[in-house]
Amino acid sequence: MSFYDVFAGWAKKYDLDAAVKRFSEQLPTELVEEYRQQFVNDMEKITNGGPPIIAAGRDEWYSGPGIDDWYWPALRQELVREARMSDDVVRSLNNASSIVVAHTPRPSRKKWSSRGLVVGYVQSGKTTNFTSVAAKLADEDYRLIIILSGIHNGLRKQTQIRLNQQLKNLNPDRWWALTDESEDFRIPSHEPSASLTSDKAVLAVVKKNATVLTRLIKWLERDNGRRELQNARVLVIDDEADQASVATGRINPLINRLLRLMPRCTYIGYTATPFANVFIDPSDEQDLYPKDFILNLPIPDGYFGPEKLFGRNLVEGEDPETAPDGYDMIRTVPEADLSLFRPAGKAAAAGFVPTLTDELEDSILWFWLATAARRARGDLGHSTMLIHTSVKTEVHEAFKPVLDGLRRRSLDELDGEEPASSRWAELWERESGAVPSEDWGRKQNEFHELLPHLKDVVEGTQVILDNYKSTDRLDYTKGTVTAIAVGGNTLSRGLTLEGLISSFFVRGATAYDTLLQMGRWFGFRTGFEDLPRIWTTPSLESAFRHLATVEYEMRDDIDRYQRENLTPTDIAVRIRTHPVLRITAKMGAAQPSYISFAGRRLQTRYFLVGNADWLAGNLQAAANLVQDAQRNGSFGQEGDVRLFRDVPVASIQSFLSRYEMHKDSPDLDRKLMLKYIQERLDSDTPSLRYWSVAIVGGGEVPVDLGGLSVGTVIRSRLARAGINPADIKTLMSRRDRGLDLRLAPDELASATEATLVRKRNEDKVHRDRGLLVLYPINAKSEPVQRSRDAKPDPARVPLNAEDVVIGMGIVFPGAAETKNRVRATYVSVDLTDVERTDIDDALDNDTEQAAE
């Protein structure tokens, strides 16, 4: 923090005259006068644009674009005119980019080195946001703007084209470009001083390549370049900031070397997968830990992300009935078929021929059908299919003859006497009915409406192999593209597949960031929101669902900075772990975090309904618990609920040790729960020594639980889920949290979750006791119709289990406190030894230090 920041803070906290008087006692008069004039200028800027934008943990200085700005108004007009953005979308972009700018240092400071991170969504418009930030900081007299754009030429070129269109070409006399569409940075004939002393903003879009970065650094390190950089305001935007920028032996040191050249430098990383960035060692001041700010970009309207496609698991404190499940757009590719799409070893790749299975053929035919539907709707935009099975270029090449052969056979079929072939019509009817087009205000097309367009679509389809060896790349700049893209790493990050409808994706990944970035299907599907489909394996679908949960929790942690006026040096972002996937290859300074079960209500949701041994084991665990409860507890019954009180904790521990929970229920970590229970028993104020055990029964099909005959409840499964595991979504109702609280039925039914938590904690007995609820579930479990005339819910199908399914819910007493924690399935960096700057302390103390 500079002395001027202390002066400005004092002036805002009290008034300008008071600041001048106090500082004049300790600093030279001419310096105080300089501070006074600088403060007046800053306040005029704020008055021009309105009140300053609040920046979490930072000094407020930016109020939004001013009336005298050049770069942002031109960009805004371009977005409305050429990109056809609505006023609401532009307004949202303006707000989001202004918040980023507001978190950068006050540009009138003499010196700064700022590190920030902006977290967007995969394929969600991050480029438009950082272009807006660049325009607004150019209006704040930033003279050098460097964009570090991925590691592939394709992404660098794509970014250069965008910035040329949206920045340079709009004010050609006000930009000095060091790179162009055809070529990355090369040392120019002029000296750095010629660019940096002009009245133009200098723009360079540079690939994260060691040779290119070294050239740029050496050019700027020339004597006159170093001299001019002492005064120039510099912005470095790192696109895909988790890729190559973090913990790489060549690129990371070069980026840090570049930043150290500039005494007035703002570095902002942009990424949708910030895992590696938040794990950088925060105590290393020479690295890229985002010490100054981490911001979420708002999720744009109409965006399809992991949650909308795959759903997600419940998070702490969330109502089970509101957890999103995603649209029915995911189709299963059997794990056993993977060898048909990619060879097992390097030697096998040379002669490999992929097999056109039913699933692969359906994905291709659906691409053609859905594209024809778009044409029938009057949508003539780009249309793309992605096939991603392997990184090996030999495999990509092997797909081309297979796809060309299917295309020829399909054209012959459509040329036949009965082009309305049953397989085309059946596939359209099946898939078009899976996702309600009414959700987007349209009536679904009939098959006969597609038919006039279908042959032209198939005929006009290109098969493009896009990998590092190929010369035939996807190019959306030369007319409408209809293409099936087969590729590997070049299609895994950054590049946008325009109009992506169908994806056949079976390539495995071992880390969160890699997997999320390979999801090219995330993004906007305006006009055909009902048509995207993804063919993938059950394990990958499960992984993406887990990642949707990880992303939700991570973004909530990031939003906490704004809610509580904190910075990333005050509290670290936590990332939930996975039993198989790594979070990132670059774990940096990550350490295990901790969790408390206090006050939580957890329930089982996923069941292996086709595994008779698994079901029998859980049934026996439940029977043993009921036998223990009958021997050692006190029994009572209310309606269909059997309740045992005063059950010793040993019975609960024994049950949890035997009962199997599906791996897709990370909240229900048996080892963590048992450890938490034991720590509460061993604490200075022991709790959880006794429990209540409830059995929620009903229906006419009884089951024997330890000698107790209990009716089974109905829990059908979601139609979109596979047979194993079955997903029932909601097992436990909110009222079940209070089954042992001796509340009247109407009071229990109307109580909120928070009320039931409070009542348990206020009760002298139950505030130290847990509740475990058993749900014997009918094996058939046909979906329940709410009335005789009601239509069956298409989202539900029978459970069809091999045997009775035992569901389990568990309620812990207490409030979520920082004590009573156990080492948990989260990791974060350690901020213990990181120095923090407190603005109030600075206002009181730094002026005295300045006078010394």
pLDDT of residue 819: 47
Rounded mean pLDDT, 530-551: 88
Closest of 740, 714, 716, 731 to residue 641, by C-alpha: 740
Asked if residue 756 has pLDDT above 80, the reply is yes
Residue 28 to residues 6, 32, 193, 851, Cα–Cα distance (Å): 15, 6, 33, 9
Under a CB-based contact definition with an 8 Å cutoff, are residues 614 and 819 in contact?
no
Asked if residue 170 has pLDDT above 90, the reply is yes
Range with lowest mean pLDDT among 43-47, 202-206, 701-705: 43-47
Joined tokens for residue 845: 């103390």
Range with lowest mean pLDDT among 446-450, 469-473, 680-684: 469-473
Range with lowest mean pLDDT among 469-478, 677-686, 706-715, 798-807: 469-478
Phi, psi of 401 (to 5 degrees): -65, -35
Strand runs labelled E in 670-742: 690-696, 702-705, 708-711, 717-718, 726-727
pLDDT of residue 851: 30
Under a CB-based contact definition with an 8 Å cutoff, are residues 367 and 483 in contact?
no
Closest of 243, 313, 423, 269 to residue 661, by C-alpha: 313
Rounded mean pLDDT, 194-200: 89
CA–CA gap between residue 157 and residue 33 (Å, rounded): 48
Of the chain, the percentage scoring pLDDT greater than 70 comes to: 87
pLDDT of residue 410: 93
Phi, psi of 845 (to 5 degrees): -115, -30
Closest of 635, 669, 608, 602 to residue 806, by C-alpha: 608
CA–CA gap between residue 358 and residue 399 (Å, rounded): 15
pLDDT of residue 540: 87
* Block residue for tokens 């070069």: 254
Asked if residue 840 has pLDDT above 70, the reply is no
* Residue 783 DSSP one-character state: P
* Block residue for tokens 């300089």: 34
Rounded mean pLDDT, 260-264: 94
pLDDT of residue 850: 30
Joined tokens for residue 223: 């004597």
Give the best-scoring range by mean pLDDT among 57-66, 200-209, 525-534.
200-209
Q: What is the DSSP string of 370-387?
A: HHHHHHHTT--S-EEEEE
CA–CA gap between residue 47 and residue 667 (Å, rounded): 49
Asked if residue 663 has pLDDT above 90, the reply is no
Q: What angle do CA 662, 667, 672 make, to 5 degrees?
A: 95
pLDDT of residue 259: 96
- Cα-Cα-Cα-Cα torsion 741, 745, 751, 755, nearest 10 degrees, comes to -10
Joined tokens for residue 618: 């859980």
Binned at pLDDT 50, 70 and 90, residue 640 comes out as confident
pLDDT of residue 837: 38
| pLDDT tens, residue by residue, 495-518 | 678 899 999 998 877 777 777 777
List all residues 6 or more positions away from 716 whose beta carbon is below 8 Å from its beta carbon: 728, 781, 782, 783, 784, 796, 797, 798, 799
pLDDT of residue 728: 87
| pLDDT tens, residue by residue, 103-139 | 999 998 889 999 999 999 877 778 999 999 999 999 9
Binned at pLDDT 50, 70 and 90, residue 3 comes out as low
Under a CB-based contact definition with an 8 Å cutoff, are residues 240 and 90 in contact?
no
Closest of 827, 153, 164, 758 to residue 466, by C-alpha: 153
CB atoms within 10 A of CB 150: 22
Strand runs labelled E in 77-151: 112-119, 144-149
| pLDDT tens, residue by residue, 372-400 | 999 999 999 999 999 988 888 888 889 99
Joined tokens for residue 305: 């992300």
Strand, helix or coil for residue 45: helix
Stated pTM of the model: 0.68
* Block residue for tokens 């920041």: 5
Asked if residue 232 has pLDDT above 90, the reply is yes
CA–CA gap between residue 603 and residue 637 (Å, rounded): 22
Closest of 92, 526, 519 to residue 298, by C-alpha: 92
pLDDT of residue 602: 87
Beta strands 606-607 and 726-727 are: antiparallel
Asked if residue 831 has pLDDT above 70, the reply is no
Helices 29-49 + 16-24 axis angle, to 10:
160
CA–CA gap between residue 646 and residue 535 (Å, rounded): 50
Q: What is the DSSP string of 624-651?
A: HHHHHHHHHSEEEEETTEEEEEEEEHHH
Closest of 850, 849, 842, 851 to residue 12, by C-alpha: 842
CA–CA gap between residue 817 and residue 710 (Å, rounded): 37
Residue 90 to residues 370, 462, 496, 781, Cα–Cα distance (Å): 30, 35, 21, 49
Helix (H) or strand (E) holding 615: helix 612-632
* Residue 443 DSSP one-character state: P
Rounded mean pLDDT, 755-781: 92
Domains of the chain listed by start with CATH number: 1-49 (no CATH), 58-303 (3.40.50.300), 333-536 (no CATH), 601-820 (no CATH)
Which of 594-628 are b and which e, b meaning 16 or more Cβ less than 10 Å from the residue's Cβ?
ebbbbbbbbbbbbbbbebeebbeebbebbbbbbeb
Asked if residue 820 has pLDDT above 60, the reply is no
pLDDT of residue 258: 96
Burial of 566 (0-12, 13-18, 19+ CB in 10 A): middle
Range with lowest mean pLDDT among 638-642, 739-743, 754-758: 638-642
* Residue 106 DSSP one-character state: P
Joined tokens for residue 384: 């793309």
Which residue would you say has higher pLDDT here, 733 or 135? 135
Joined tokens for residue 798: 């029978």
* Residue 782 DSSP one-character state: P
Binned at pLDDT 50, 70 and 90, residue 835 comes out as very low
Question: What radius of gyration do the chain's Cα atoms show?
Answer: 31
Binned at pLDDT 50, 70 and 90, residue 547 comes out as confident
Number of residues written out for the chain: 852
Rounded mean pLDDT, 158-180: 94
In sequence order, what are the beta bridge partners of 644? 635, 693
pLDDT of residue 638: 73
Joined tokens for residue 230: 């002492």
Instruction: Write down the mean pLDDT value for the chain.
Output: 85
Binned at pLDDT 50, 70 and 90, residue 660 comes out as very high
Beta strands 575-576 and 822-829 are: antiparallel
pLDDT of residue 57: 84
Under a CB-based contact definition with an 8 Å cutoff, are residues 390 and 507 in contact?
yes
My answer on whether omega of the bond before 725 falls inside 30° of 0, hence cis, is yes
| pLDDT tens, residue by residue, 296-350 | 998 878 888 888 888 887 776 666 666 677 889 999 999 899 999 988 766 677 7
Range with lowest mean pLDDT among 86-100, 269-283, 545-559, 569-583: 569-583
CB atoms within 10 A of CB 580: 11
Under a CB-based contact definition with an 8 Å cutoff, are residues 233 and 107 in contact?
yes
Closest of 172, 205, 53, 136 to residue 562, by C-alpha: 53
Helix (H) or strand (E) holding 388: strand 383-388
Rounded mean pLDDT, 550-561: 88
- For the range 627-630, what are the long-range contacts, defined as Cβ-Cβ under 8 Å and sequence gap of 24 or more? 627/706, 627/707, 628/654, 629/693, 630/706, 630/707, 630/708
Strand, helix or coil for residue 585: coil
Under a CB-based contact definition with an 8 Å cutoff, are residues 450 and 427 in contact?
no
Closest of 638, 616, 607, 650 to residue 743, by C-alpha: 638
pLDDT of residue 613: 95
Under a CB-based contact definition with an 8 Å cutoff, are residues 275 and 550 in contact?
no
Beta strands 690-696 and 770-777 are: parallel
**Alpha helices by DSSP H, 251-340:** 251-260, 275-278, 306-310
pLDDT of residue 420: 53
